[in-house]
Amino acid sequence: MACPRVLGSKSESGALACAKATPVPGDFLHNRASFNPQRTPMSELLNKLEWRYACKKMDPAKAVPQDKVDRIIEAARLAPTSSGLQPFEIIVVTNSAVREQLKTAARGQAQITDGSHLLVFAAWDNYTADRINMMFDLTNAQRGGTNEGWENYRQMLLKNYPARTPEVNFEHAARQAYIGLGASLIAAAFEEVDATPMEGFDPKAVDEILGLSARGLRSVVIVPLGYRAAEGDWLANLKKVRRPTAQFVTEVK
């Protein structure tokens, strides 16, 4: 192909040369020449990511020990978020009757009741001055003081965030919740616990069942935790498929 394999030079239009290049089918290395799988032996983390999958059939007889659940949640709590605001919470549902209601609101997906715990990630419905001040005050209390730069940063957020629409703020908060989601899914893999992230549910119904609106929260993703069933999981033995690195990564050298 005429186009260099690594992007680098600028075209006259200001866009990087080759940025619009059409991938050649089968030529997965069109823009990632320096990637070398031999150079990247799997780390323990990558092994865990390879191990996990979205379990489709959980064994209702097997419960996840509470200490494992605690560590899975702790990973989300420790996960980074924008400005450290942690604009989400996690509801852990073990109550069977409530999980039955939630399953109805989630297209009847059986893992919700076949697993032992259901994590509901719920994002803040808005950024308010109270919420921003709560996190800055907590930070100052824990660090035993503050400084001018930090307080200026607080004022910048107080000026900008509450002035945005609730929907813009909610979408921003939801993205942060997904960082926590990613951390929890990885933590589950480290605990050898199966976890199935689900977006296929009616968020308004879930919010109503769990009383989230009154708390200024909106459900964004739910995750049953459990153990894969010995039989009946159509996905369990299928290859994990991801786009090749060359279709996922572009280098600008």
Footprint (CB under 8 A) of a second copy, residues 127-186: 135, 138-139, 142-143, 147, 149, 171, 174-176, 178-183, 185-186
Q: What residues from 32 to 71 belong to the interface with a second copy (CB under 8 A)?
A: 34-36, 39-40, 43-46, 49-50, 52, 54, 66-67, 70-71
- Tell me the chain's radius of gyration from C-alpha atoms: 22
- Select from 10-18, 107-115, 225-233 the region that touches a second copy (CB under 8 A): 10-18
Q: What residues from 99 to 128 belong to the interface with a second copy (CB under 8 A)?
A: none
Q: Which is nearer to a second copy, 59 or 117 (CB)?
A: 117
Q: Could you say whether residue 251 binds a second copy (CB under 8 A)?
A: yes
Instruction: Report how far residue 156's alpha carbon sits from residue 9's, in angstroms, rounded to the nearest whole number.
Output: 37
**165 half-sphere exposure, CB direction, 13 A CA radius:** 3
Contact 75, 186 (CB under 8 A): yes
Q: Could you say whether residue 242 binds a second copy (CB under 8 A)?
A: yes
- Nearest approach in angstroms of CB 91 to a second copy is 5
Q: Could you say whether residue 5 binds a second copy (CB under 8 A)?
A: no
Which segments of 26-166 are extended strands (E)? 88-93, 117-124
* Residue among 94, 100, 97 nearest 225 (CA): 94
Q: Which is nearer to a second copy, 132 or 181 (CB)?
A: 181
Residue 89 is given by DSSP the state: E
Structure tokens at 75: 């990973």
- Nearest approach in angstroms of CB 182 to a second copy is 3
Instruction: Report how far residue 239's alpha carbon sits from residue 61's, in angstroms, rounded to the nearest whole number.
Output: 27
CA 27 and chain centroid, separation: 31
Q: Could you say whether residue 79 binds a second copy (CB under 8 A)?
A: yes
